[in-house]
């Protein structure tokens, strides 16, 4: 994968397939300490210890469409290539947490990419799931919570085209403000 956003998409889709009703995506950029991190937590089915150990095997997957599971091993490798770290924790019935940390200024750290497009794709494909996206850059924070959006739009579906367009613009504007 060439962008961090695609790693986020892959892992969040795993969360939705595991029955999560809430997926929390947090990106932190700490320039002072040279850290870029991605954390994805869900309240899905979780994994037992044996399954959790298999997740780092690129030839293991629970997906029926393709018979390889490269997402987590690729993210772990991308993090370690920059001198960072990777961890995954999971409990049956409680969900899963994936965490990857990178050296922010490392030449091999992939760019963030189209995170707004990823958030839209997740909502469009999983309108019944709630997503929380938090992006922290130093002392500034941008956040989007679909539970709050649902309250504000009433009976309009979250995956309605106009709502998705508003969300996309909100994410883009929020991230632009973080970079000012």
- Extract the runs of DSSP E, i.e. beta strands, from the chain: 22-30, 35-42, 85-91, 95-103, 130-137, 140-145
Indicate the pLDDT class of residue 59, thresholds 50, 70 and 90: low
Indicate the pLDDT class of residue 25, thresholds 50, 70 and 90: very high
Of 45-59, 61-75, 134-148, minimum mean pLDDT range: 61-75
CATH class label, 4-178: alpha beta
pLDDT score, position 69: 43
pLDDT in tens, 92-109: 999 999 999 999 999 999
Residue boundaries of the structural domains of the chain:
4-178
Indicate the pLDDT class of residue 66, thresholds 50, 70 and 90: very low
Contact 144, 180 (CB under 8 A): no
pLDDT score, position 61: 61
pLDDT in tens, 116-153: 999 999 999 999 999 999 999 999 999 999 999 999 99
Residue 64 has pLDDT above 60, yes or no: no
pLDDT score, position 68: 39
* pTM of the complete model: 0.92
What's the whole-number mean pLDDT along residues 38-47? 96
Contacts 24+ apart (CB under 8 A), 126-131: 126/16, 127/157, 127/158, 127/159, 128/21, 129/16, 129/20, 129/21, 129/22, 129/23, 130/21, 130/22, 130/23, 131/12, 131/22, 131/23, 131/24, 131/25
pLDDT score, position 97: 97
Average pLDDT over the chain reads 91
Kindly state the DSSP code that residue 3 receives in the 8-state scheme.
S
pLDDT score, position 60: 57
Q: Would you state the torsion angle of the CA atoms of residues 10, 161, 22, 52, taken in this order, to the nearest 10 degrees?
A: -10
């Amino acid at each position: 994968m060439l962008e961090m956003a695609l790693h986020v998409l892959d892992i969040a889709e795993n969360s939705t397939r595991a029955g999560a009703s809430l997926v929390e995506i947090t990106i932190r950029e700490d320039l002072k300490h040279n850290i870029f991190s991605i954390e994805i937590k869900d309240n899905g089915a979780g994994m037992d210890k044996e399954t959790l150990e298999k997740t780092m095997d690129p030839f293991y997957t629970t997906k029926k469409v393709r018979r390889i599971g490269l997402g987590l091993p690729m993210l772990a490798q991308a993090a370690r290539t920059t001198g960072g770290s990777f961890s995954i924790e999971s409990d049956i019935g409680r969900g899963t947490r994936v965490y990857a940390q990178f050296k922010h200024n490392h030449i091999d750290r992939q760019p963030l990419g189209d995170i707004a497009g990823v958030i839209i794709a997740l909502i469009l494909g999983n309108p019944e799931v709630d997503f929380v996206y938090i992006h922290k850059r130093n002392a500034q924070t941008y956040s989007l919570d679909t539970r709050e959006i649902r309250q504000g739009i009433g009976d309009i579906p979250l995956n309605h085209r106009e709502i998705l367009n508003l969300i996309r613009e909100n994410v883009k504007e929020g991230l632009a403000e973080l970079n000012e």
